[in-house]
């Protein structure tokens, strides 16, 4: 393709910059890591092993402890300089049984699942009429008493998109809906699953009660086809009654662990390039896309650098966080233990194996030329340069908010992620081996160059 003169000019700063921040040797190692990643099955083998040999691993469960042992053993086998665990206190919550059915006007059994942290119903269940709300706002703004003594049903629809932006908007319904429903006198909350699929599998996820506002009520999600069924039956004009039985179990003060590994830096070992994912998962699936993929991608990215045979100037660290799903406890524990260490860059992989399409950052201005050069190195992977106002994932939150550590986000294609997210469908077959490799390639080049840059990336911009 022939470029007009003006376009050639626009390319110059990038080309020039490329000569500024990194040596030819550093760029060569980055490109070799990309090639190595694209030929490596390591990430797939890791997520296959974790999902098959451990499977579901809710925080504080016996399987959570198995996952920690699995991770320690794997990381030791991979031969990193240091592998260790750090204790994380978690509150356990476990699903025992759940059942929901429409009992009138037209009886139908529904696919239902309790939201994480929901209390149980009475043993005999709850049998009450539905009070319909199109979304959380409508429930909040309801000044009538129609929710009183009823099951509030909140019907927010979550639309598919490449960047998964509908998720953030949908989550408050799940997280805080029970408190809002309780405040309006409802005796249970039922929500349309926060998911973009049409499967008879309900989506779980974390919720919390604000007992200062309302007494806790049981909270559950029905699958999208079952939410459609409720809506159709409501259209008959007849009252819709639902019977709901949930049995859940709480165990506070349990022990989990963050699992960590490092390749020690040669020049500035006290400066950390830290990436990771979360080791825990919900109980319904086997935690393949959420977040076996992130564990596999970030561990494999470090391994690709280790295999280059060249030691990075800064320390590369991978963090497998405990209990992201139901408390962000591992992230808080890491921040408390390591927040004061100098972090050159932090990053999180927690969106399955979808292709990375964009790199965005939150670093200081002086670091932007180096970041643009990194973006140029991974651009052949189909990754465009975003802006410098990246948000962090859940596990980066405490480090960014409390310590202003500089962060990077590799935005992944989330078009299909929320079909599967937090359901029994989260299994290994949902991992795309090709785009999984692309993720490893991008992260490996990125962390290597971040470790080599003369410029310090932090602190991040205030937001």
Contact positions vs a second copy (CB under 8 A) = 48, 52-56, 106-109, 111, 198-201, 224-225, 228-229, 232-233, 285-286, 423-425, 427-430
Shorter beta-carbon distance to a second copy: residue 196 or 306:
196
Shorter beta-carbon distance to a second copy: residue 163 or 199:
199
**Residue showing tokens 């249970």:** 188
DSSP one-letter string for 243-258: EEEEEEEEEEEEEEEE
DSSP 211: T
Contact assessment for residue 320 and residue 291, using Cβ atoms and an 8 Å cutoff: no
Shorter beta-carbon distance to a second copy: residue 362 or 425:
425
Q: Closest approach of Cβ 444 to a second copy, in Å? A: 26
Q: Closest approach of Cβ 225 to a second copy, in Å? A: 4
Radius of gyration of the chain (CA): 24
DSSP 290: I
Distances 295 to 111, 131, 206, 242, 348 between C-alpha atoms, Å: 30, 41, 20, 40, 9
> Quick check: is 324 catalytic?
yes
Shorter beta-carbon distance to a second copy: residue 41 or 210:
41
Instruction: Report the alpha-carbon distance of residue 138 to residue 45 in Å, rounded.
Output: 46
Shorter beta-carbon distance to a second copy: residue 72 or 306:
72
Shorter beta-carbon distance to a second copy: residue 30 or 288:
288
Shorter beta-carbon distance to a second copy: residue 56 or 265:
56
Q: At what angle do helices 5-21 and 368-378 cross, to 10 degrees?
A: 110
Shorter beta-carbon distance to a second copy: residue 81 or 101:
101
Among 29, 36, 71, 19, residue whose Cα is nearest residue 292 = 71
Q: Tokens at residue 7, please? A: 């376009």
DSSP 292: I
Q: Closest approach of Cβ 255 to a second copy, in Å? A: 21
Q: Closest approach of Cβ 424 to a second copy, in Å? A: 4
Q: Closest approach of Cβ 201 to a second copy, in Å? A: 6
Q: Closest approach of Cβ 245 to a second copy, in Å? A: 15
Distances 350 to 93, 297, 376 between C-alpha atoms, Å: 22, 10, 23
DSSP-derived 3-state class of residue 17: helix
Q: Tokens at residue 34, please? A: 């990309």
Residue 268's H or E segment, with its range, is strand 268-278
Contacts of 205 (CB under 8 A, 6+ apart): 115, 116, 171, 174, 175, 194, 221, 282, 325, 422
Q: Which of 262, 324, 373, 456 is catalytic?
A: 324
Q: Closest approach of Cβ 428 to a second copy, in Å? A: 7
Shorter beta-carbon distance to a second copy: residue 365 or 429:
429
Q: Closest approach of Cβ 96 to a second copy, in Å? A: 13
Contact assessment for residue 358 and residue 446, using Cβ atoms and an 8 Å cutoff: no
Contact assessment for residue 448 and residue 59, using Cβ atoms and an 8 Å cutoff: no
Q: Tokens at residue 221, please? A: 């999600």
Residue 103's H or E segment, with its range, is strand 82-104
Pairing mode, strands 126-133 and 82-104: unpaired
Q: Tokens at residue 347, please? A: 């990053």
Distances 429 to 76, 283, 323, 352 between C-alpha atoms, Å: 27, 17, 24, 12
Q: Closest approach of Cβ 149 to a second copy, in Å? A: 26
CA atoms within 13 A on the CB side of 324: 27
Which residues belong to the active site?
A: 324
């Amino acid at each position: 393709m022939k470029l007009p003169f003006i376009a050639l000019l626009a390319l110059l700063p990038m080309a020039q910059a490329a000569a500024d921040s990194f040596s030819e040797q550093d760029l060569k190692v980055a490109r070799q890591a990309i090639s190595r990643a694209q030929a490596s099955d390591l990430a797939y083998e890791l997520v296959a092993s974790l999902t098959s040999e451990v499977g579901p691993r809710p925080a504080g469960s016996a399987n959570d402890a198995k996952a920690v042992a699995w991770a320690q053993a794997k990381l030791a086998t991979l031969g990193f300089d240091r592998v260790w665990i750090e204790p994380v206190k978690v509150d356990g919550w476990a699903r025992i049984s759940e059942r929901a059915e429409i009992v009138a006007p037209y009886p139908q059994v529904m696919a239902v699942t309790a939201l994480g942290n929901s209390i149980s119903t009475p043993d005999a269940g709850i049998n009450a009429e539905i009070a319909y709300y199109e979304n959380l706002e409508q429930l909040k703004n309801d000044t009538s008493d129609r929710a009183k003594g009823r099951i509030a049903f909140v019907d927010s629809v979550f639309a598919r998109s490449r960047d998964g932006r509908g998720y953030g908007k949908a989550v408050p319904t799940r997280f805080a809906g029970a408190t809002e429903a309780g405040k309006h006198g409802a005796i249970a909350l039922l929500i349309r699953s926060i998911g973009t699929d049409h499967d008879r599998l309900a989506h779980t996820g974390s919720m919390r009660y604000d007992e200062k506002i309302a007494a806790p009520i049981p909270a559950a999600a029905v699958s999208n086809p079952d939410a459609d069924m409720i809506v159709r039956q409501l259209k008959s004009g007849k009252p819709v009654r639902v019977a709901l039985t949930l049995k859940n179990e709480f165990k506070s003060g349990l022990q989990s662990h963050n699992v960590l590994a490092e390749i020690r830096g040669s020049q500035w070992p006290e400066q950390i390039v830290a990436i990771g994912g979360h080791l825990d998962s919900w109980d319904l699936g086997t935690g393949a896309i959420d977040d076996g993929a992130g564990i596999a991608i970030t561990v494999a990215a470090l391994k690709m650098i280790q295999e280059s045979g060249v030691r990075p100037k800064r320390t590369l660290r991978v963090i497998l966080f405990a209990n992201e799903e139901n408390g962000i406890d591992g992230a808080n524990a890491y921040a408390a233990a390591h927040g004061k260490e100098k972090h050159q860059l932090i990053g999180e992989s927690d969106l399955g194996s979808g292709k990375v399409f964009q790199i965005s950052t939150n670093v200081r201005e002086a670091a932007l030329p180096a970041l643009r050069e990194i973006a140029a190195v991974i651009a052949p992977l189909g990754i465009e340069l975003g802006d410098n106002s990246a948000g962090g994932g859940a596990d980066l939150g405490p480090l960014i908010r409390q310590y202003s550590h500089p962060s990077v986000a590799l935005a992944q294609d989330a078009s299909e992620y929320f079909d599967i997210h937090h359901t029994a469908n989260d299994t290994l077959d949902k991992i795309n081996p090709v785009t999984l490799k692309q993720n490893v390639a991008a992260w490996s080049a990125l962390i290597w160059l971040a470790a080599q840059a003369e410029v310090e990336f932090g602190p991040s911009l205030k937001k």
